[in-house]
Chains A and B, each alone.
Chain A
Amino acid sequence: MNEQSAHAGWEVVIGLEIHAQLATRSKIFSGSATAYGAAPNSQANLVDLGYPGVLPVLNREAVRMAVKFGLATGSKVARRSVFARKNYFYPDLPKGYQISQYELPIVATGTLDILLDDGSIKTIGITRAHLEEDAGKSTHEGLGAASGIDLNRAGTPLLEIVSEPDLRGAKEAVAYLKKIHTLVRYLEICDGNMQEGSFRCDANVSVRRVGAEKFGTRCEIKNVNSFRYVEKAINYEVARQIDVLEGGGTIVQETRLYDAAKDETRSMRSKEEANDYRYFPDPDLLPVELDESFIEAVRQTLPELPDEKADRFCADYGLSRYDALVLTASRDLADYYEAVVSGSGGASAAKLAANWVMGDFSGALNRDNADVATARVSSAALAGLLARIQDDTISGKIAKEVFEAMWAEGLSADAVIEAKGLKQITDTGAIEAAIDEVMAANPKQLEEYRSGKDRLFGFFVGQTMKATQGKANPAQLNDLLKRKLAP
């Protein structure tokens, strides 16, 4: 559905600010670990705590990762970028300022192509991507009138990726968000874990009358931690803004929080007052200057990117665009798929492999909340199963049963087929014997069939299959039945 048609007369304008936690071992400005889930404040050292006298020193890997993102999005990688202080008081911000980049970010003006529902491609502008440090966390459970501050996350490197206001609806926004999500995991610069907060998104949403030149007043929705919630939060916010405007009201520029339980956004007044961040260059850090050799070395580490891979899958494996996009949505899945193809006869098995990887295999992953790396059926094992389908050892239908057994027991396809006796019957004599039995047992149906009731053919197929416990080769069975039933 065209999203515009849902809001007749209005155009939706969205820009996203994505915070991707960079997958470094240590923090952006200190040697503390960044591991998730450690005991409170056990990974907060003097620098992270903002102790008097301590100073930041920049992590090379964080810079490398930001450059990698810049190169992957065709952005300008700044030869000179500058860290600035963003000043505000908050308990999870130990120094009273966040070290970020303001006027001169490390990455500027790139683009990303997204696939729309109608199959067309839209290019979304990336305004900038800059390095900054994350804040800590506040908890309120069981502390009465107090909040507890855990600064383990403080100083974790973030890449803030800011899009142009090019997105025209919640679905586009989600498509873009997913594309960035795919990209950062391809680049191995972010683990993409939204539950743990390592991939977060703020959405700037506004609406304007179709044809209007000026953007409407925008609201920033914070704290949306899943793709589904991003879509719902934006849809709620769009409807709210249109309601307000159609009712003759005006939109107040503000920060709003998405409440997933109530499926609504609400004003976050506590963060509203006096947003005067007093940015200025951080005098504790010097300008970051990157030479060509640094950038070139990073370029050498770029993997095949999702779009390139999808193009290749279409070309080499004859897959549809849709299948190629699904299979390349994560690098792990794409690698798995390619391993299955090569293990089961190459390009000739490509379509079969795609169906299996996207179907039963992905279904099992979702069902068990597992990931590709730890899947119970390895790519080699799945390739072994597909080989048995291709050589007619088992039918596609039996193969599903075999797959479930492989997943449950961690066995190879051959072991399951052997143990369960599922090997397909291709012996003509055995199939003919089964057909003879069925014909003898159903004289009435046989007579009707022979007198022209063609649709009873299916009945005989079913009965014969049943007699062979489903193991008869379907094609052979068809041929033999047709011959035998003929009057």
Chain B
Amino acid sequence: MSLHTLSVAELSASLGRREFSSVELTQHFLDRISSSNPALNAYITITAERALADARAADQAIAAGTAGALTGIPVAQKDIFCTDGIRTTCGSRMLDNFISPYDATVVERLAAAGTVLLGKTNMDEFAMGSSNETSWYGPVRNPWDLAKVPGGSSGGSAAVVAARLAPVATGTDTGGSIRQPAALVGISGIKPTYGRVSRYGMIAFASSLDQAGIMAPSAEDCALFLQAIAGFDPRDSTSVDRPVPRYSAELNSPIKGLRIGILKEFFERGLDGPTGVLVNAVLDQYRALGAELVEVSCPNLPLSVPTYYVVAPAECSSNLSRFDGVRFGHRCENPRDLMDLYKRSRGEGFGSEVKRRIMTGAYVLSAGYYDAYYLKAQKVRSLITADFKAAFSQVDLLIGPTSPSPAFDLGAKVDDPITMYLNDIYTIGANLAGLPAMSIPCGFDGHLPVGVQLIGPHFGESRLLSAAHAYQSVTDFHRRIPAAYV
């Protein structure tokens, strides 16, 4: 038995029984990180000292009998979450020297739950990317094949979980940034309902779409960690004040009679390759479990990618204006004047994809173009949301692929933004409508994992998790570990 193959529940039980200490567990993961991270490049910052201190505190709590379900469990934080006293880069040169003076709510809550911070994971710069290749710190490699991308933007978190360099990691999802990398590395990932998890301290990309979530091998692990981070936060005006269900307790809700909608628009578009075959097999599996599968349609869903590529850049162009070289972040050498300070600090501090999105956003909001682009996109967003609402009047969950293909080669799509953007074709809809969605592994295309996506109605996380758990109770794709990391 290796510690890194245990589920969160198993780790927690073993820690409680003193089979090993949190310090031992933590050291085990730190050792794995030391040996494997150089090749994977999945952590930007490894917080070994902090981790061991957290672990010692956890062991004391366990000894004192004050431990909770997550006490002593190591976790990796995506480097988009601000961590007090620890470098927080957001994958950007702009924040290479940035030490956050405060903790994000997600960080604060996981610390309060007694978890152990292993480090900060690599990511696409400011979460803008689908391959983790836009990071200032270099690309993350896919543990299943080092020549492939792990997906993005939470590529580092995906890789550390897949290679078991952490039992669990946090992620954020603006257009698929939890689900797509989860699919590409064969793990589970949940993006909750917009407003379910506080955005406070999560460096903003597109505020109306960003949502924090959990990446872990199984839905069961996701449920335990989502419990810890979900809930109202008065510091985030878009956080929803609504009770959080007991996700773990509801994991075994019966699947029989559950109505699952097959999203017509997802299956009619070139889904005839291996991914399509695997996803169709999931439908059969759910039928076998007693669910009722019906076809539903969201006719405006094919417009979700263009809608997103207006809305997200518009918001990002404004959100990233605060990086101006004055109060924090990169500042150019010897600015001639104020304009030079702004332009060179930002020109040097941001990478090309971020600059491209900032410019796209500035353009679609500018005088004369606002109505045709931004306002139009916000209206189409209404149409897409209405489609989902209509669909959820007929079914409990929606199902479809997570990503059109398995992991692709590093460098394959970097020069063509549109091709890259189309990776998110199945995931963006949930962000536009603020819906909870989850990707779980459903098989392999050759040696590469493939994911299936479940989408729920607003605040339907419990139903998503129990449906995923039902599937994982009869399959073992989520337990597969790349050979090099067993």
Contacts and interface: CB of A to CB of B under 8 A. Distances in A.
Interface string A267-283: 00000000010111001
Contacts of B278: none
Given A278-B362, A278-B366, A53 B318 contact: no
Contact of A89 (B82, B204, B235, B342): B342
A278 B327 contact: no
B237 A280 contact: no
A378 B234 CA distance: 47
Contacts of B238: 55, 283-284, 286
A140 to B, nearest CB: 13
B90 interface: yes
A49 B366 contact: no
A276 to B, nearest CB: 5
B104 interface: yes
A57 interface: yes
B150 to A, nearest CB: 24
A53 B207 contact: no
Interface in A245-289: 276, 278-280, 283-286
Interface centre among A49, A53, A280 (most CB of B within 10 A): A53
Contacts of B327: 49-51, 94
B321 A149 contact: no
A278 B364 CA distance: 9
Contacts of B318: 85, 87, 96-97, 278, 280
B367 interface: yes
B31 interface: no
B374 interface: yes
Contacts of A97: 318, 321
A343 interface: no
Interface string B286-315: 000000000000000000000000000011
A180 to B, nearest CB: 30
Interface string B73-89: 00000000110000010
Nearest to B236: A55
B367 A94 contact: no
A275 B144 CA distance: 51
Contacts of A46: 101-102
Contacts of A284: 204, 207, 237-238
A379 to B, nearest CB: 45
Contact of A94 (B95, B200, B314, B322): B322
B203 A276 contact: no
Interface in B218-247: 234-238
B322 A283 contact: no
Given A95-B321, A95-B322, A96-B321, A280 B104 contact: no
Interface in A370-422: none
Given A46-B101, A91-B326, A284-B237, A53 B204 contact: yes
Nearest to B88: A52
B237 A286 contact: yes
B380 to A, nearest CB: 16
Contacts of B98: 52
Interface in A48-62: 49-58
Interface string B325-348: 011100000000010001000000
Contacts of A57: 234-237
B410 interface: no
A52 B208 contact: no
A89 to B, nearest CB: 6
Given A55-B236, A97-B318, A284-B207, A278 B328 contact: no
A53 B104 CA distance: 8
B365 A87 contact: yes
B326 A283 contact: no
Contacts of B234: 57
Interface centre among B88, B326, B328, B366 (most CB of A within 10 A): B326
Contacts of B88: 52
A149 B326 contact: yes
B147 to A, nearest CB: 33
Contact of A58 (B90, B207, B237, B342): B237
B324 interface: yes
Contacts of B237: 55-58, 284-286
Interface in A130-155: 149
Interface residues of B, number: 44
Contacts of B326: 91, 94, 149
Interface residues of A, number: 28
Contacts of B102: 46, 51, 54
Nearest to A284: B207
Contacts of B317: 87, 278
Given A89-B324, A89-B342, A278-B366, A53 B201 contact: yes
A278 B375 CA distance: 12
A94 to B, nearest CB: 6
B326 to A, nearest CB: 6
Nearest to A273: B339
B469 interface: no
A52 B328 contact: yes
B202 interface: yes
A55 B199 contact: yes
A450 to B, nearest CB: 90
Contacts of B370: 278, 280
Contacts of A89: 321, 324, 342
A94 B238 CA distance: 22
B342 to A, nearest CB: 6
Interface centre among A52, A94, A96 (most CB of B within 10 A): A52
A52 B100 CA distance: 9
B296 to A, nearest CB: 29
A54 B366 contact: no
A357 B204 CA distance: 58
A38 to B, nearest CB: 18
A123 B369 CA distance: 38
A246 to B, nearest CB: 33
A272 B328 CA distance: 27
A283 B206 CA distance: 8
Contact of A54 (B81, B201, B208): B201
Nearest to B311: A283
B366 A52 contact: no
Nearest to B126: A52
Contact of A50 (B235, B236, B322, B366): B322
A115 to B, nearest CB: 41
A94 B104 CA distance: 20
B478 to A, nearest CB: 31
A279 B365 CA distance: 7
Interface string B102-131: 101000000000000000000000000000
Contacts of B82: 52-53
A128 B342 CA distance: 34
Interface in A25-60: 46, 49-58
Interface string B22-55: 0000000000000000000000000000000000
Contacts of B315: 283
Given A89-B342, A95-B321, A96-B324, A52 B367 contact: no
B200 A55 contact: yes
A102 to B, nearest CB: 11
B312 to A, nearest CB: 11
Nearest to B201: A53
Given A96-B321, A276-B366, A54 B200 contact: yes
B458 to A, nearest CB: 15
Given A94-B326, A96-B320, 19 more contacts: A46-B101, A46-B102, A49-B327, A51-B102, A53-B104, A53-B201, A53-B204, A55-B199, A55-B235, A58-B237, A95-B321, A97-B321, A149-B326, A276-B367, A278-B366, A280-B318, A283-B207, A284-B237, A286-B238
- List the 4 closest pairs (A to B, CB-CB), nearest first: A96-B321, A278-B365, A283-B207, A283-B208
5 contacts: A57-B235, A89-B342, A94-B327, A96-B324, A278-B365
